[in-house]
Chains A and B, each alone.
Chain A
Amino acid sequence: MNLEVLGIIVLWIFLFGYVIVASIDFGAGFFNAYSLLTNKSHILSNIIQRYLSPVWEVTNVFLVFFFVGIVGFFPQTAFYYGTVLLVPVSIAIILLAVRGSYYAFESYGSRGHKGYAFAYGVSGLLIPSSLSVVLTISEGGFVDIIDDLPQLDFWALFTSPLTWSIVLLSIASVLYISAVFLTWYAWKAQDWEAHELMRKYALIWAGPLIFMAVAIIIQMQQHNPDRFRNMISIWPMFGISATLFLMTVWLIWKKRGLGLSVGLLILQFLFAFFAYGISHYPYLLYPHLTIYEGFTNQEMAISLVIAFIAGLCLLIPSLYLLFRLFLFNKEYVTGNQKDFHA
């Protein structure tokens, strides 16, 4: 394997990490807001607070890691994407900033405001929407190189059905991933009411998720036949993903093996995410930039890989500690212990 491929795999893994962790976070915020509107907040808010509080900061780091990494390994992306993404990414930053800081303000400072919870919930859907636009742009057809400068065709982007399909898929994924995770988490916390409610949401959002995923693959045939052929050629990966999806839904339906269902869910998205990524190879921005043209020099690539390995040696034990103390700690999850918050 060459360094280019190694680099993009590492980054893709981190982006995948962000997709999963952030989806749980975004979805939880949305369900919390929705339950406030339907007067069911007493059921959910506890469980959501308990999960989110110690880990919310970690979520953001996955994203930072991805974009710093991609500019490090592929400095040309700064030029291509940096020039065209000013508006959508700035909007995402602002939403992320409002969301992140107000989460802290709310949970550590003052408490309880409906309007805020509502805005918080909606931002959880708007952020993935605005970020998913980056994936749409990467499919090609929206960026022209004029006078050596990439220009984004806003009109084409906003009127393309592909754009909106991807936005809808990102929303459905957020809600589905979050619901499945919280179904399990509530079960672990022995909060049966919350468990039932989340289970219902998980089953509801399974439908739109798979519908949108299939719709996008079909649209690709129109939008970019080249990319569509690539996707078809690795159909077994999408097939495995679909099978895992069915197994997850079945487990949740039968209320069995909920821990396993979360594992299968993660695998399902891992397969789909990597199938998508592989079919995108070798393009970073179709058809203008490939990972080979955009790659940094050998020296930098090697030092980044070394830094990455050293960093992982530091992070994995730390993350393990975090999860052991909170996510997998029975006392903490069930809320049986005293509040040790500063």
Chain B
Amino acid sequence: MNFYSIHAIFRFEMARSVRTLMQSLAAPVLATALYFVVFGSAIGSRMAEIGSIPYGSFIVPGLTLLAVLTQSVSNAAFGIYMPRYSGAIYEILSAPLSPTEIVFGYVGAAVVKSMVLAAAILITARVFVPYEVAHPFWAFFILLLCAVSFSMLGFIVGLCVDGWDKLEVVPSLVITPLTFLGGSFYSLNMLPPTWQTISLFNPVVYLVDAFRWAFFDVTEFNPMVDVAFLLGFLLVCIVIVGQIFRTGYRLQH
């Protein structure tokens, strides 16, 4: 493991987001703030409490996850797609880098960005609605695990797509709908039974549930099963990335 190599990639990626701070941080924070204004303060005050949790607070974990999941995928995908597109990937390929170092550099940077974003959103949310975190360690751990595994997913997307337009397909056509339908804004048992059953096939349901448990100590499943599920997902991503590097697919000619 060479620290200088990882650091070089990491720094390059961070410099890119600092240059585009408006897009990478301000935009998602603003979008989330708008959700809180509309759903939290305006509509939320007319909504019944869910369990004993005010509606505005209830949506905090789900909205945070929505931003973290989509931004993790987007950021990591963009990070590796960019050099593939510009041709700068030649340098990565010609360098004495192990796949692990490349992944640590790109995915590490995407994870840090997502964690910073999550912190910014949680602070913003606190301005609009009251909430406390029941299990701070678990909240951090689950958030980190989500950021890591979805950044890995983004990395895979960035390695496999062959056009700018396809880059946003996964975050906006897959992650966003799954998160909206994954109980970010409602509790599953508010749904008709058929939809409840369908929702069980939505993996994001378990992430939202686990994260909300860390906040409010209420759960519809077992949070430890949720975490195990996340770890399994991460493992699958790691295996896929390993396979991509072993075969040189879409990297080498």
Answer whether A and B are interacting partners.
no
